[in-house]
Structure 1
């Protein structure tokens, strides 16, 4: 009788384990369903003016790729975008605040709600207004693009020191038709090495129809991270993050991260550009599966819609294939390491 009870008990355990595995509720799988609740570093935050993305209030749909699904070129793309921003089709649009003060206040509210410190990219004449609102929530980063911001390297160094700038970026040369390896940037890369200050460069998609929205020289081909190869060879001590992870050049990005182990990436904006299923399967899952979960950083790319911060956090927390430890790396540890702050790993 004892033997029979042991057999029944063993069968019960087997059945329970089978049921648990089948329903995805193993200990490992349960961990994947847990949301990260710790501190977050958002390495991709913008100090914009309220009207920088069109007359406020303007609606924003997530994912962006579904906001305008078809277009007849008999119309002006900019007019179509503005019209849709006033009358969106999505069920739960985000609306931009109407004033700079409201934009700053709502952004700070999001940062405090989710326990976020943001690397704040902005122009030197507007950054102080943001920093004064919540100095403990922002890491100042200098927005920089050629040709508009081209200056003597000594002048840039003076700006960085005077305003306690901790990151150079977003470097938006791509919007102006300038390749990542343009030699005009060499003196600025050298300055970043000299000051031991990290840089963040835009490689990837801009807004839909970017060449028709005020960026006529924007070229998608300059998203390819392979064009950074000579830069990283010339300046091996440069701390560089690729914003938007060079999307859509995922395989090239993986190859660059393999060849240049100092290279980091951030997810800014792309997680809400495409439907989650696409972003998960063909972007994030692939980058993690390749072994680079320790160099992927969280970024909301919040501009004039502060609600993008919370939406972006949810998208990463809902990634079914990420463990809690992997989420902690993406949300905090990797950025802390890149910025040389205190890490939790």
Structure 2
């Protein structure tokens, strides 16, 4: 079983990221074009079974039937299945994939965890960290730790900011000191907005509020901090109209398609990305995985962009690299 799992991990990226002659040509030409993944999580996450990306539906549940599963994805077979990293090997396996696929990633997590990732692959890791909760009594201490991280330890992005999981708007004044710090230090912020709970927020995240993921809730925050660069994680899915309204109103706002890209039916994912591109915002969409447990997820999701017939080659490169390089001020 262990050998079978390793074989699947080794072969999966070539099945999903590129196919046939394209894969052969890429290998002969050397490294693939650079990619920036703006949404990876540090830590040592575990999963007990392979995951089928882009499941066809979310299933209803009934509390009368006993304990409810924390995830609502339908159980279905798929090729390829995404296998979790071996126990204790998540960081090593993800970093190996990043090297093979020529990916640089913004890695979010506890300061010490992210430092370990950066030490293992300094040329590929952009460190990011966030505050734990705006209702925490140690706000002053959190702010002090974050300022040290950004001014002395080389951290570059404030995120992931999960206010929606607390049922709190990003414009809530309780979060104001953190965003004020980000603007003062010229640090971009990455805010979870839109999708969440994997079809079972009522079971797994009772404080989560879908209404707090409305992209237009960012407007008051942006008015207070006009120079703040904001990454709307998960692209505010599924609120496309409000997301487009915000993008039209604020040129400092970008979106990432992490999580969204593998958590919903493929047709729906493509439709949402195409809606943003057709709306005129192809230069604000950034590739991401929301990597948590499955190293093969990176190649699989890159493949969804590479194989999108509604995108031009230029638009694909913008999503996979150019837009994030501009947002993060990475010199090409």
Q: 1:259 aligns with which of 242, 249, 261?
A: 249
Taking the TM superposition and a 5 Å limit, the aligned residue runs for 1:11-160 are 37-51=32-46, 56-64=47-55, 66=57, 69-76=59-66, 78-79=68-69, 81=71, 89-100=77-88, 102-147=89-134, 151-152=139-140, 153-160=143-150
The alpha carbon displacement at 1:246 in A equals: 0.7
The alpha carbon displacement at 1:65 in A equals: 5.0
Could you say which residue in structure 2 is the equivalent of 1:248?
Answer: 238
Distance 1:148 1:65, change over 3 A: farther
Classify the secondary structure of the residue corresponding to 1:41.
strand
Could you say which residue in structure 1 is the equivalent of 2:174?
Answer: 184
Distance 1:77 1:330, change over 3 A: farther
In structure 2, the gaps of 5 or more residues are 1-24
* Structure 1 Cα separation of the partners of residues 212 and 146 of structure 2: 25
Could you say which residue in structure 2 is the equivalent of 1:11?
Answer: none
TM-score by structure 2 length? 0.83
Could you say which residue in structure 1 is the equivalent of 2:13?
Answer: none
The alpha carbon displacement at 1:208 in A equals: 2.4
CA RMSD of aligned residues (A): 2.4
Classify the secondary structure of the residue corresponding to 1:94.
coil
* Structure 2 Cα separation of the partners of residues 268 and 136 of structure 1: 22
Q: 1:239 aligns with which of 210, 219, 229?
A: 229
* Structure 1 Cα separation of the partners of residues 70 and 182 of structure 2: 41
The alpha carbon displacement at 1:165 in A equals: 0.9
Indicate the structure (1 or 2) with the bigger Cα radius of gyration: 1
Cα shift readout 1:184-235 (whole Å, capped 9, x = no counterpart): 111111111111111100002122212312x220111111011000000110
The alpha carbon displacement at 1:330 in A equals: 0.6
Q: 1:302 aligns with which of 269, 272, 291?
A: 291
Q: Are the counterparts in 2 of residues 43 and 335 from structure 1 also a CA contact under 8 Å?
A: yes
Cα shift readout 1:274-307 (whole Å, capped 9, x = no counterpart): 22222212x1111001110011111111111111
Instruction: Report whether the alignment pairs 1:269 with 2:269.
Output: no
* Structure 2 Cα separation of the partners of residues 227 and 188 of structure 1: 17
Q: Are the counterparts in 1 of residues 70 and 200 from structure 2 also a CA contact under 8 Å?
A: no
In structure 1, the gaps of 5 or more residues are 1-33
The alpha carbon displacement at 1:318 in A equals: 1.2
- How many residue pairs were aligned? 300
Q: Are the counterparts in 2 of residues 42 and 299 from structure 1 also a CA contact under 8 Å?
A: yes
TM-score by structure 1 length? 0.80
Could you say which residue in structure 2 is the equivalent of 1:325?
Answer: 314
Cα shift readout 1:246-297 (whole Å, capped 9, x = no counterpart): 111110000100011111111111111222222212x111100111001111
The alpha carbon displacement at 1:47 in A equals: 0.7
The alpha carbon displacement at 1:334 in A equals: 0.5
